[in-house]
Amino acid sequence: MYMRKIYQKIAKENGISVAEVKREMQAAIDSAYKNVEKSETEKNAQECITYHGDIPTVEEFVESISCNFTNKARK
C-alpha cells in the first residue's frame, strides 16, 4: 500500500502514469546494476541492498534502502 501511494504521488507530480513511474524507476536500477564501470562506493552501496534474483525490483530496492536508513538513524 505504501509503495502505491509513492508511485501515485510521483506520477501526479510529473504528469505521467503509475506504470511509467515504475518502468522508469526499474530502468534506473537496471542501469546502475548493469554498469560495469562502478566506483567502489557504488559497489559497496549495491552490496547493502537485499534482493532476490540478478537485479532488485523497485520494491526490494526501496524497502532495503529505507531499512538501512532507519537502522542507521537508530544508532
Q: Over the chain (75 residues), what is each successive 10-residue block's mean pLDDT? A: 89 98 97 93 90 94 81 66
pLDDT score recorded for residue 70 = 67
Residue 45's pLDDT is 87
Q: Do the Cβ atoms of 43 and 32 come closer than 8 Å?
A: no
* Residues 64, 48 contacting (CB under 8 angstroms): yes
